[in-house]
Chain A
């Protein structure tokens, strides 16, 4: 079960990777700090069960990245956004996307993600 994680902050990438890997023995996390590399991986690999994207990244925000995936018909079973502060504005913004996007505040709570991913 491959989960793709995109976060420009290496410390957050490290922490979130470890927390996601601890969700289940079969979970493999592919971490990226660069959106282009993450996109290349998603286009080439169709075994990805979930994608976690940081909301605030330089150059391309989490919202822009997900919007781009949807526009290019790269459909994933599960998409989530990680953010340092989750408010009404963030929820409304992601509700505009045509696909369901889960929102989690950093640092992620493993139990919450496990439940959401039905692991």
Chain B
């Protein structure tokens, strides 16, 4: 399909040909024309969106093939088409081997053939670009996965090393050791490793394609999060208040929404200041636009609010322990097509403003079909 957003360039040292080309194709494409190689290079530099270049073969001072060969390094992406009235075998072979020309058309051109060739060239250009983008996405995802594995392994190993230390201490001084003094520490280590493993499982579930879209009560999600965490962490210091619970329901993926609450609560608990008596969490839920706004506020320690792509590096350098938990929140919100803003103030606490849009109920059928 012709599209004026598609930019193409025609090079010919005969002005009437340029005028004719523009007159024929101006309604279908965004057209650039050049009467010599220098002008063509200038246009290419200023218009990196040009998808197809059509060049006359016989021009003063340079052939079309020589021009294409000369720009191959600097502008490798546009698809190249040669027009010539004097097609010989050598020129055709050179065009393919030296200048990576896509098609060789006779001149004067047949409008129908030229149109079809330009269209095919644009499709090839778009496909290549799409493929390149997808390849880049895959590389980024793989890089993230590798860093995730590296970080999670380091964190778990660090906890195991601590537990090993406790065992070594017990073995080094068996008479003076009160086992009961060490058991709570060992239990803490086990819980930490369990949390790390849960993070890995959550990361997998967060990114799986299947999802279960249903109408959910946000209040129930918070209650379920508390019940899940109770089995793992001591919640006796937690004081949680929910504002407007009954007014706000959401059509969404229950698993991911619960993960958001699970991780925000457990992150806050893990970031309580030493000697902090209680962790106060306020959750304000309101219908907003086509979805819900959740304002989650806690009085835990200051957290670095930068959850950009550098998160993993931050963690690996030791600056962001427990940040996998927050990263998974960001990932879940992102997968739910929502937004998250974080604001943290030293000695005051952290607030998260989350907007989650309603998903379409029929998505469940689409996705699980």
Where the two chains meet, the residues of A that have a C-beta atom closer than 8 Å to any C-beta of B are 9, 11-12, 14-16, 18-19, 22, 33, 56-59, 61, 84-85, 106-110
**B173 in contact (CB, < 8 A):** yes
5 contacts between A and B (CB under 8 A): A9-B158, A18-B169, A19-B169, A58-B320, A107-B165
B48 in the interface, Cβ–Cβ < 8 Å?
no
Q: Are the CB atoms of B185 and A14 closer together than 8 Å?
A: yes
Question: Given A11-B185, A57-B318, A85-B157, A110 and B172 touching (CB < 8 A)?
Answer: yes
Q: CB-CB < 8 A to B166: which residues of A? A: 11, 15
The tally of CB-CB contacts under 8 A between chains A and B is 57
Determine the distance from Cα of A12 to Cα of B192 in the docked complex, in whole angstroms.
14
CB contacts under 8 Å to A, within B141-169, are: 154, 157-158, 161-162, 164-166, 168-169
CB-based contact A84/B319 at 8 Å:
no
User: What range describes how many residues of B lie at the interface?
Assistant: 20 to 34
Among residues 250 to 304 in chain B, which have CB atoms less than 8 Å away from a CB atom of chain A?
274
Q: Are A11 and B169 in contact (CB-based, < 8 A)? A: no
B residues with CB within 8 A of A = 154, 157-158, 161-162, 164-166, 168-169, 172-173, 185, 188-189, 274, 317-321
Report the minimal beta-carbon distance from B177 to chain A, rounded to whole angstroms. 9
| Residue of chain A at shortest CB distance from B167 | A107
**Which residue in A22, A59, A84 is a CB contact (below 8 Å) of B158?**
A84
> Nearest-CB distance from A113 to chain B (Å)?
12
In the complex, the answer to whether A107 meets B164 with C-beta atoms within 8 Å is: yes
CB contact between A22 and one of B173, B185, B274 (< 8 Å): that residue: B173
Which B residues lie within 8 Å of A18 (CB)? 169, 173
B321 nearest CB neighbor, chain A only: A58
In the complex, what's the smallest C-beta–C-beta distance from B184 to chain A, in angstroms?
10
Instruction: Knowing A9-B158, A9-B162, say if A15 contacts B318 (CB, 8 Å).
Output: no
* Cα distance, A59 to B189, chains bound together (Å): 23
A67 to B202, CA, bound (A): 40
Q: Point out the residues of chain A lying under 8 angstroms from B168, CB to CB.
A: 15, 19, 107, 109
**Is B173 touching A107 in the complex (CB atoms < 8 A)?**
no
Beyond contacts A22-B169, A84-B158: 17 other A-B pairs, Cβ-Cβ < 8 A, are A9-B158, A11-B162, A12-B161, A12-B165, A15-B168, A15-B185, A16-B165, A22-B172, A56-B158, A61-B318, A84-B154, A84-B157, A106-B161, A106-B162, A106-B165, A107-B162, A107-B165
Inter-chain contact A12/B162, CB cutoff 8 Å = yes
**Measured between C-beta atoms, what is the minimum distance from A111 to chain B in Å?**
9
A22 to B176 alpha-carbon distance, docked (Å) = 10
